[in-house]
Structure 1
């Protein structure tokens, strides 16, 4: 049987098509590529379940839909988790196959999705390709030849690109794809041989319809250099020179490294970065490129595009940019500005942005080490405004709020800032470096210390120990360990107590009684000195909580899932848990698994209870999302599946605007919730989220849940039991 296998013209197509085509053709199948983006493709973007993904993901849905409609037997959509040993790919490349399969309601056998994950599963990429070959009725020997044919084709494509060809030109010569359309776009354009413009961005933007042919337009005015033309020997050292730059997302590393290489070698006179609206990784590399272009006095233009971007406005901006003066003399040294004097020795004053009550644990550690910690300011509207003044436009909301908190801490006298690190699939690990760049451009003088996980100890402990020494003024290790233990104890009892409060709110006769106890308890725990005192406070708190009178009711049970910062930070989520529990009718019990101690128990201590639950969550997610997309994206899917099985009335997902892992999860959960027959509400937060609209949506959601429960009761559906008492 001869199979027809479709390759959507988007995302991985623009990076790995030579490999994919050669591999599949060597297996003896017919390769069908979706046609170039046209009006029909743009109309088919409605197949994307939500509006949140970047335009490239929406186009990928459209191209996949057109292939399915054309009658292909299956789609070939590799899950690109990691193509290099040190880093990951963007979550949308990791989760593309899962989004397509769930969003287009395809059967598992209709999507061939071999995972490439060199970081966590080195060598398995070829095994996964052999499994694809077997599904296409091809034996091991022919599969091996097909894999080698793919590698050879990809190497040939990269060699052609390094000679100065664009990706469409390479694909035309090597893969028999359509010839790039040549047309004089601006009759008035005058080519300047002295100008060389770097046009940076993902090829699925630069060479698709939504990019409005930006490369071709600028090529009428000057020589254009694009990222694919820069070999790894030139771009990789530039990325490696950045702190943990080797762990930047693979394809963004190529874009950033290419831009830095061209700047540092003096090969360009202007630079353009094209990014998609809401593109997460682009919001990170944008800061590095803009900062370095300014340092070299090279004009820099950021173009943001989506499906609504008008061609006329974009062309006007390009024409004005081409006329920009400056950058004519290549090869010059960086512009010298005022140098910041080396910091004077000062008494250590540590500050750290917060997340829920996590700062209580850090304060305890530093107090034990006799180091002054500036109290973490609560997130307020003013905090958000301070962060928004400096942050890139499409950076995620948690970076904005924590950036604002850092500015407040520095104003209050902090001279050392502690931030979490850990480069992974989401942007969290890059917050600290981006924030440092942005703040030091203001001339602020401070030391930034990045705390990363100490595991695995053999590789990570030395860096972790150095970071601890910096923020504890070289305190003895025994003091640090005792402080960590005491801080952990506080974090644990606070999370346990808060879980009890969430339950009590649903039953208490007088609204607000549990919250009053909770607020007093938090203040007492903050002041407590030893673990025994903390435990005593906890026992007293639980006894007082039990004594609060309860009503006889069967509250709605609502599960909260989503991105950890948004779930835990009350100002950011507009105190959603309190709002839900404050409704007189219907009463609501809010349940969430995510907490600071749960994360620590799972990822650092590997406690059995958390590990077993985590495995159950991943197993529940696997039929719908079987790869990790970063953050809590996979957990959001798994917890929703379990919530349906465990009898919850509904699920609410909380995510920051532009959060990549949660957007992947959202696009799976919207169609999946219908299959699971569980009401689902996805709430996206940013600095413009209004309380009134937020509460209206929540009240409407609760009405749906109440009506659904009533109908189930009438029809004889299973009742909803109460959660066990504490």
Structure 2
């Protein structure tokens, strides 16, 4: 049985593990990213590469040493450099003496015939028919959608929790239940149990949490180790967060389609062309969060990420035009948790003061009739 692995990105590994195992492979599940994983990637990566490149390289080193024989990964198209990362990872790993297969899948719409030829080779290796593969994907997709739903549910409940940390504890309990669910019936049952667990957490609904949107590059948004658990940290500060990217939503809008056109249209007056990655989306999503009444926006970006650098240069103007504060956090291997938490605390304090000032002005207007 061939041993297959993939990159670790948030909680999606549970869906990919099921996909690989249902195809008849042995899944080498990548360990959760750690400082050791990053240090290994930094050792062999080019200095100019962004932190997702270094972390994924470190992950590949770990899974190859655990016996992985095949790596399945995603590619991309320019102008973001991420489209070349799969090839660069392969070259570095082969130069280090590792022997393995790698399948790099670019978005289907960039070359649908090439995509299906690669997929056919994987299915032939697995001995899986196209009909069986459709059913396998259906179950894995249901699990990925459930994982996204549970993340969103947890971020809404966490600011109201009475016992600090209980949402996070039960969320991780839910991950175990989701991992064990394999059939559609089991996944549906796991959803009902998990949603019930989370919604029955003791809450103080008299609280008035702030709402912060989070934009930026996909890997640092989805992987908690990379963003230093920003959603958990903000939630325990009394903030409801919403990411601009969830994996299943991104897959339908950007991988299987031509992107969220409404979001890019919003960005058009400020950034009227595709600059790669999620740069244009970060601008458009910030405008969308402002229109939907969010109190602030945080941009999380890897150091040297050109699309997010472009967005960062534009966001101050968007902030002024739409009256929404924006905090930009740049992440690299030198970023420390304490420094990020200090900046988040200061930003949340600013947003609370701003809300209080707005409410005081509104109350004065109502009282004195001006």
Question: What's the TM-score bracket when you normalise by the shorter of the two chains?
Answer: over 0.9
Structure 1: which 5+ residue stretches go unaligned? 1-346, 719-726
Aligned to 2:159: 506
Q: SS at 1:425's partner residue?
A: coil
Paired with 2:250 and 2:173, the residues of 1 have a C-alpha distance of 25
Aligned to 1:563: 217
In the TM superposition, 1:5-24 aligns within 5 A as none
**Does residue 265 of structure 2 align to residue 619 of structure 1?**
yes
Q: SS at 1:655's partner residue?
A: strand
Structure 2: which 5+ residue stretches go unaligned? 365-370
Paired with 2:73 and 2:255, the residues of 1 have a C-alpha distance of 17
- CA pair 389-605 structure 1, distance change in 2 beyond 3 A: closer
**Does residue 14 of structure 2 align to residue 377 of structure 1?**
no
Paired with 1:641 and 1:635, the residues of 2 have a C-alpha distance of 10
- CA pair 456-392 structure 1, distance change in 2 beyond 3 A: closer
Aligned to 2:350: 704
- CA pair 499-461 structure 1, distance change in 2 beyond 3 A: same
Aligned to 2:87: 433
Paired with 1:452 and 1:642, the residues of 2 have a C-alpha distance of 28
Where is the helix percentage greater, Structure 1 or Structure 2? 2
**Does residue 190 of structure 2 align to residue 537 of structure 1?**
yes
Paired with 1:467 and 1:621, the residues of 2 have a C-alpha distance of 40
Paired with 1:460 and 1:599, the residues of 2 have a C-alpha distance of 21
Aligned to 1:548: 201
In the TM superposition, what is the alpha-carbon distance from 1:479 to its structure 2 partner? 2.6
Aligned to 1:590: 241
Q: Relative CO higher for 1 or 2, CA cutoff 8 Å, sep ≥ 6?
A: 2
Paired with 2:138 and 2:276, the residues of 1 have a C-alpha distance of 28
Tell whether the 8 Å contact from 1:561 to 1:594 is kept in structure 2 after alignment: yes
Q: TM-score, normalised by structure 2?
A: 0.93
Paired with 1:450 and 1:461, the residues of 2 have a C-alpha distance of 9
**Does residue 214 of structure 2 align to residue 599 of structure 1?**
no
1:248-268: CA deviations, max 9, x gaps? xxxxxxxxxxxxxxxxxxxxx
Aligned to 1:417: 71
Paired with 1:418 and 1:430, the residues of 2 have a C-alpha distance of 15
- Cα RMSD of the aligned pairs, angstroms, is 1.9
Tell whether the 8 Å contact from 2:106 to 2:115 is kept in structure 1 after alignment: no
In the TM superposition, what is the alpha-carbon distance from 1:559 to its structure 2 partner? 0.6
Equivalent position to 2:132, from 479, 486, 505: 479
Tell whether the 8 Å contact from 2:105 to 2:115 is kept in structure 1 after alignment: no
Tell whether the 8 Å contact from 1:451 to 1:467 is kept in structure 2 after alignment: no
**Does residue 326 of structure 2 align to residue 686 of structure 1?**
no
Q: TM-score, normalised by structure 1?
A: 0.48
In the TM superposition, what is the alpha-carbon distance from 1:695 to its structure 2 partner? 1.0
- CA pair 448-456 structure 1, distance change in 2 beyond 3 A: closer
In the TM superposition, what is the alpha-carbon distance from 1:469 to its structure 2 partner? 2.6
In the TM superposition, 1:73-222 aligns within 5 A as none
Aligned to 1:654: 300
Query: How many pairs were matched up?
Result: 363
Paired with 1:517 and 1:451, the residues of 2 have a C-alpha distance of 35
In the TM superposition, what is the alpha-carbon distance from 1:661 to its structure 2 partner? 0.6
- CA pair 435-461 structure 1, distance change in 2 beyond 3 A: closer
Tell whether the 8 Å contact from 2:299 to 2:328 is kept in structure 1 after alignment: yes
